[in-house]
């Protein structure tokens, strides 16, 4: 059993990452969820996870973190996730509330108590970077940071940078230089594990969780539909599936440095053959096997959350 804390900015794919972890309760114990601004403001992304928890009767503690990057001004992404941050499904305003403590206090308290915790980072790394800066003596309690972000050679928000890193590159620089092992699921491996839009269409015939994911994908998939693509990556499920089935991935130990100053490359993850730093960069996966894990997770949750 691996104990995890999910740091996220829900976010259609963040929600589907939480579902994937939920479906594997024997392997992954979700201790809590921390939220950070990214896809949308802190208030909106927090409301989204609370709405989903209310809808499915979930009670995972949610603690709010930072509402802006360390240096760079916040730039939310309505084009990809809508004004709400989770456009598509229609859910009532949340009844449940976040925990009263700040994400950093929650992380400190939890890591002081637990032996080892894995951080699943699915958003800009602001919370995790500032936690490591504030409580460096607790870094050793972090088994690894399994994160979605970066790219070996590419970008989605800019030519050479991926959104989670680009949104707070100073935070990423702190995290990758902290000495805590990072497993980086960048754009290449996420794209390799893309879901076919035809596979997502089948969610409409499933149970409550699948139908909810159908509504998520109807909006989230528009980015691909509008570009004539037949598939789309569900980015944030990737680090969760690595935690469950690492054998599904091609990976290399690499140094990862973050470009902070380039006019065209700020937020770039510079991945080079390792000089002994502990990072694992995921490079490729078998699409059918990878997506099969997600599809099986939805089917299992359809039985549980009917
Ligand atoms: O670039 C993809 C990442 O940015 C994902 O985590 C998505 O949720 C957005 O946060
Ligand atoms: Ca995210």
Is the pLDDT at 283 greater than 90? The verdict is: yes
- What is the C-alpha to C-alpha distance for residues 297 and 17, in angstroms, rounded to an integer? 10
| Interior angle at CA 295, CA 43 and CA 76, nearest 5 | 25
| 39 C-alpha to ligand 2 centroid (Å) | 7
119 lines ligand 1 (CB under 6 A): no
The predicted pLDDT at position 244 comes to: 98
The number of the ligand nearest the C-alpha atom of 9 reads 2
The fold of the 2-304 domain, in CATH, is Inosine-uridine Nucleoside N-ribohydrolase; Chain A (3.90.245)
Q: Which of 102, 169, 164 is nearest to 134 (CA)?
A: 102
Residue 31 pLDDT more than 80?
Answer: yes
What number does the ligand 1 atom closest to the CA of 12 have? Answer: 8
Q: Which of 6, 38, 186 to mutate to test the pocket of ligand 1 (most atoms within 8 A of CB)?
A: 38
Average pLDDT, the chain: 97
What distance in angstroms lies between residue 186's CA and the mean position of ligand 1's atoms?
Answer: 10
65 and 52 Cβ atoms separated by less than 8 Å: no
For the chain, give every domain's residue range: 2-304
Alpha-carbon gap, residue 109 to 112, rounded angstroms: 5
Our answer on whether the CB atom of 40 is closer than 6 Å to any ligand 1 atom is no
Taking the C-alpha atoms of residue 267 and residue 150, their distance in angstroms, rounded to an integer, is: 8
pLDDT in tens, 151-165: 999 999 999 999 999
Of 6, 8, 10, 11, the residue with max ligand 1 atoms within 8 A of its CB, to mutate for a pocket test, comes to: 11
Spatial separation of the C-alpha atoms in residues 128 and 63, rounded to whole Å: 13
Tell me the pTM.
0.98
Q: Is the CB of 164 under 6 A from ligand 1?
A: yes
Residue 148 CA, closest ligand 1 atom number: 6
Predicted confidence band of residue 276 (pLDDT cuts 50, 70, 90) = confident
- pLDDT given for residue 110 in this prediction: 98
Residue with the smallest CA separation from ligand 1 atom 10 is 123
pLDDT score recorded for residue 291: 98
Is residue 132's pLDDT more than 80?
yes
Beta carbon of 155 within 6 Å of any ligand 1 atom: no
Query: From the alpha carbon of 14, which atom of ligand 1 is closest?
Result: 8
Which pLDDT tens digit goes with each residue over 191-217? 999 999 999 999 999 999 999 999 999
C-alpha span between 42 and 123 (Å, rounded): 11
Residue 38 Cβ contacting ligand 1 at under 6 Å:
yes
* Mutation probe of ligand 1 site: the residue of 8, 12, 14, 154 with most atoms within 8 A of C-beta: 14
Give the integer Cα–Cα distance in Å for 115 and 275.
Answer: 29
Please give the distance, rounded to the nearest whole angstrom, from the Cα atom of residue 187 to the centre of ligand 1: 10
Question: Does the pLDDT at position 122 exceed 80?
Answer: yes
Q: Is pLDDT at 299 greater than 80 in this prediction?
A: yes
Q: Which atom of ligand 1 is found nearest the CA of 163?
A: 1
Strand 142-148 versus strand 249-258 pairing type? unpaired
Residues contacting residue 220 through CB under 8 Å, at least 6 positions apart: 12, 13, 80, 81, 88, 232, 234
Could you tell me whether strands 269-273 and 249-258 are parallel, antiparallel, or unpaired per DSSP bridges? antiparallel
Closest CA to 251 of 189, 160, 177, 168: 189
Q: Pick the atom of ligand 1 nearest to 124's CA.
A: 10
Question: Does residue 275 have a pLDDT over 80?
Answer: no
């Amino acid at each position: 059993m691996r104990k995890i804390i999910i740091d996220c900015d829900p976010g259609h794919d963040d929600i589907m990452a939480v579902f994937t972890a939920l479906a594997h309760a024997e392997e992954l114990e979700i201790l809590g969820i921390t939220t950070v601004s990214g896809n949308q403001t802190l208030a909106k992304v927090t409301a989204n996870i609370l709405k989903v928890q209310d809808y499915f009767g979930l009670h995972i503690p949610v603690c709010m973190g930072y509402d802006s990057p360390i240096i760079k001004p916040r730039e939310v992404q309505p084009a990809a996730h809508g004004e709400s941050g989770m456009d598509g499904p229609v859910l009532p305003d949340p009844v449940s509330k976040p925990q009263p403590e700040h994400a950093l206090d929650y992380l400190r308290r939890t890591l002081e108590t637990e032996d080892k915790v894995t951080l699943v980072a699915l958003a800009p790394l602001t919370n995790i970077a500032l936690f490591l800066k504030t409580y460096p003596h607790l870094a050793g309690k972090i088994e690894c940071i399994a994160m979605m972000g970066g790219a070996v050679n590419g970008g989605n928000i800019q030519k050479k940078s991926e959104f989670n890193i680009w949104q707070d590159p100073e935070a990423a620089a702190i995290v990758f230089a902290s000495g805590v092992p990072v497993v980086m699921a960048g754009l290449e491996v996420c794209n390799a594990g893309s879901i076919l839009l035809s596979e997502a269409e089948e969610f409409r015939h499933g149970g409550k969780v699948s139908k909810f994911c159908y509504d998520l994908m109807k909006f989230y998939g528009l980015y691909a539909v509008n570009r004539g693509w037949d598939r789309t990556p569900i980015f944030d499920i990737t680090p969760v599936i690595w935690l469950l089935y690492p054998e599904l991935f091609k990976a290399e130990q690499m140094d990862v440095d973050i470009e902070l100053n380039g006019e065209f490359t700020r937020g770039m993850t510079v991945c080079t053959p390792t000089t002994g730093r502990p990072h694992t960069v995921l490079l490729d996966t078998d699409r059918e096997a990878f997506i099969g894990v997600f599809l099986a997770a939805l089917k299992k949750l359809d039985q549980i959350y009917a």
